[in-house]
Structure 1
Amino acid sequence: MKKTLSVQKNEEIEVVFEDLTHDGAGVAKVDGYPLFVKNGLPGEKARIKVIKANKNYGIGRLLELYERSPYRVDIPKEDAPKYGGCQLAHIRYDGQLMYKENQVRQALARIGKIEGARIHPMIGMDNPWHYRNKAQVPVGEKNGKLVAGFFKPRTHEILDADESVIQLPAVNEAVRAVKEICRELGIPAYDEEHHSGVLRHIMVRYGRKTGELMVVLITRTVELPHRKKLVDAIVSRLKQVKSIVHNINPKRTNVILGEKTKVLWGNEVIYDKIGDIKFAISAPSFYQVNPVQTKVLYEKALEYA
């Protein structure tokens, strides 16, 4: 006999959120049946609409808050594009740290079967804004205009944005300048649906201590239209640039970088320092995106060692 679900699609119900998922959605339960709702916070009472009811879990949409969490932070609607990729931006920073600490505790218990482990408090930043030294910005076209910014949640629609509140100012400036130059030169944006066009992503890497900047242009095609004019304009507008790289990714894929990379101007790598250690950073190389907390992490590891 088929079991009847506790809730039905399109039903509106009142819930109290108990927890958060790994990607920051609120978790509520109705007769043990879990409902995941974006923007819900533990302790909040709310009215939601069930938009999906699977066998083991449901998805809801927040309609109205009856009781707010003290950790909730309101984001003005007009500022939403600046927070692209910030799933926890609606949670006060000390609440984010508490949530992450709880995530570690739950992972140890659920996956590692380790109960009662001592979890040290999260070490937060003095200023948790404008710290990322790397941006990978998808490029597309809207109303005949090249756009670059963030993917709208759960879609491949690109929201055009000139700034991210978690990227270093120099990175925001570089992304904005390269986007403007590509528009001026009429470089065709990539069309994901038809697998046509040219420019797929703009990547920027920045050495926080050295001030060195790398621009990576990721295209579907081997040829980069207006290559010389593009390079000259980037060098002219971005005085800190030390490397301009062309990466070619002809595949239908969500993977950003392709296998072939060539230097268009300047050096193959830029440099940065964490403490006394100097790092050479190429377009595809791994390097921590938060250099401030990386130093804290390394120092803590050395302390324990």
Structure 2
Amino acid sequence: MAKQTAPVTKNETITLTFEDLTHEGSGVGKINGYPLFVPNALPGEEATVKVIKVNKNFGFGKVLEFLKTSPERIEPVCHVHCNGCGLQHMSYRLQLEMKMNQVKNAMKKIAHLEHVPVHPIIGMDNPLHYRNKVQIPVGEKNGELITGFYQKRSHNIIENTETCTTHNEVINEVVKTVRDVANRLGIQAYNEQAHNGVLRHIMVRTGEETKDIMVVIVTRTDKLPHKDELVKQLKESHPNIKSIMHNVNHKRTNVILGEKTKVLFGEEYIHDKIGDITFAISAKSFYQVNPSQTKVLYEKALEYAEIGSDDVVIDAYCGIGTISLFLAQKAKKVYGVEVVPEAINDAKKNAKLNGITNAEFIVGEAEKVMPWWTAQGLKPDVIVVDPPRKGCDEELLQAMIEMKPMRIVYVSCNPSTLARDLRILEDGGYRTKEVQPVDMFPGTGHVECVSMLEYEVSN
């Protein structure tokens, strides 16, 4: 039998009409049924395309010239090509439609839940300047410090920190101030090839409601040169800075923060509010980067949980207690579990900060702790999970099934792993009632979802 070959070859130039989008936002066009994925192309557009890679079942290309453009194409508000937010060429309406389709396709093709309602995605009124945290690498160019994100698939810094349209605008100003002051003081940038120099990264966190600002200066060295003058000038430039931290990372690594962090000014926390709950946020705290949409997400999770005053709730992957403390406002008791000890310490502090006494937090892997809780006689009415992108560990899913709570609320940042896990929970006796997508990251291909499942009691 003759080996099947692709109808195009590498470096060939073709004319292509685009029919669809991938979940990452690339245009999809077909030559004799063979799909080519092309960034920066939209459905309905026609372009001259250079084929840059050919696989057996699909290929990749790049646009040389558009012959016909879509009415959904818009002028990007940012012209720095750092690939941090690669969907700025498409209208926000089309971004939301693409993400909605991504969730629907995952429910249909992976979870095999064609008839589960996927509600219209909740977008933002203003999908710009939403990020409350940034970690920016520092480099040198012509003897001057530069800051910006890495170019895709490289460690070349693209200078963009003064114009980034996803950051809170105050963050852009603070990063520029730190860089300029450090430059004037002669603080050297870290050189990752030679593993020498000083200043590796600048992290800035802000409180949406409080307007608090935290600056974290990450160095290779234990000593931060001219630290007193640096702190003085930062405080003078930005009176809302409540915390300046020095983090030391000696290692040759892509991990940004090292293990040692000390206070240079203020406290080790800043504060923010989501709804009625105040959160203390440290340099290493996991805290959602889009605070206005986080409130939407958590309110939907609380609605789906349908918590009564006598209900016992488990929050797996509880982090610093963000969802747990929302749940505790209505529940009899909330148990939170998280593998990161620092996060559990923060969760306990946040409970105390808000006067919440019916939330208990424990360090450990949820898939190990939950069977132990079962052995102790704990029977939750509701379980809430908000795992990382890889989804839930299968042991955890089985532990949830064995606990038989009446409801499970699954918060996810990855529709594919969500759908995979919903299938397992469905096979374990649960029924997915509805799914609500929320756009937490405009301009990118990422989408969050909240799903509600109920236990189907056998007759």
CA distance in 2, matches of 1:190, 1:165: 26
Q: Which moved more, 1:237-246 or 1:19-28?
A: 19-28
1:289 matches 2:310: no
Alignment correspondent of 1:219? 219
Alignment correspondent of 2:245? 245
What are the superposed Cα offsets for residues 111-137 of structure 1, whole Å, 9 maximum, x if unpaired? 323334321111111111112111111
1:91 matches 2:90: yes
Structure ID, larger Rg: 2
Q: TM-score, normalised by structure 2?
A: 0.63
Could you list the runs of 4 or more consecutive aligned residues of structure 1 that deviate by over 6 angstroms after TM superposition?
A: none
Paired residue secondary structure (2:167): coil
Paired residue secondary structure (1:60): strand
Q: CA deviation at 1:239?
A: 0.6
Q: Which moved more, 1:289-298 or 1:270-279?
A: 289-298
**Which structure 1 segments of 5+ residues have no match?**
none
Alignment correspondent of 2:153? 154
Q: CA deviation at 1:140?
A: 1.0
What aligned pairs does 1:260-275 form with structure 2 within 5 A after superposition? Answer: 260-275=260-275
1:301 matches 2:293: no
Ranked by relative contact order (alpha carbons within 8 Å, sequence separation 6 or more), the top structure is 2
What are the superposed Cα offsets for residues 180-214 of structure 1, whole Å, 9 maximum, x if unpaired? 11111121112223322221111100001111100
Q: Which amino acid aligns with 1:213?
A: I
What aligned pairs does 1:54-93 form with structure 2 within 5 A after superposition? Answer: 54-75=55-76, 79-81=78-80, 85-93=84-92
Q: CA deviation at 1:82?
A: 8.6
CA distance in 1, matches of 2:82, 2:122: 22
Alignment correspondent of 2:28? 27
Alignment correspondent of 1:172? 172
Q: CA deviation at 1:280?
A: 0.5
Distance 1:2 1:71, change over 3 A: same
Q: Which moved more, 1:286-295 or 1:66-75?
A: 66-75
CA distance in 1, matches of 2:32, 2:221: 54
- Contact 2:107/2:114 (CA < 8 Å) preserved in 1? yes
CA distance in 1, matches of 2:124, 2:295: 11
Alignment correspondent of 1:106? 105
Alignment correspondent of 2:372? none
CA distance in 2, matches of 1:58, 1:190: 38
1:45 matches 2:46: yes
Q: CA deviation at 1:83?
A: 7.5
CA distance in 1, matches of 2:81, 2:124: 20
CA distance in 2, matches of 1:302, 1:82: 38
CA distance in 2, matches of 1:36, 1:252: 35
- Contact 2:23/2:98 (CA < 8 Å) preserved in 1? no
- Contact 1:200/1:220 (CA < 8 Å) preserved in 2? yes
What are the superposed Cα offsets for residues 142-185 of structure 1, whole Å, 9 maximum, x if unpaired? 22221101222332211112121121121111111111111111
Q: TM-score, normalised by structure 1?
A: 0.93
Q: Which amino acid aligns with 1:95?
A: L
The count of aligned residue pairs is 303
CA distance in 1, matches of 2:266, 2:175: 18
CA distance in 1, matches of 2:191, 2:228: 24
Paired residue secondary structure (1:28): strand
Q: Which amino acid aligns with 2:157?
A: I
What are the superposed Cα offsets for residues 268-296 of structure 1, whole Å, 9 maximum, x if unpaired? 00000011100000001011111111111
Alignment correspondent of 2:279? 279
Paired residue secondary structure (2:294): helix
Alignment correspondent of 1:36? 37
Alignment correspondent of 2:121? 122
CA distance in 1, matches of 2:34, 2:155: 30
Q: CA deviation at 1:97?
A: 0.8
What aligned pairs does 1:205-216 form with structure 2 within 5 A after superposition? Answer: 205-216=205-216
Paired residue secondary structure (1:17): strand
Paired residue secondary structure (1:178): helix
- Contact 1:82/1:163 (CA < 8 Å) preserved in 2? no
- Contact 1:139/1:200 (CA < 8 Å) preserved in 2? yes
- Contact 2:82/2:158 (CA < 8 Å) preserved in 1? no
Paired residue secondary structure (2:79): helix
Give the share of equivalent positions with the same residue, in percent.
56
- Contact 1:129/1:165 (CA < 8 Å) preserved in 2? yes
- Contact 2:138/2:148 (CA < 8 Å) preserved in 1? yes
CA distance in 1, matches of 2:183, 2:22: 39
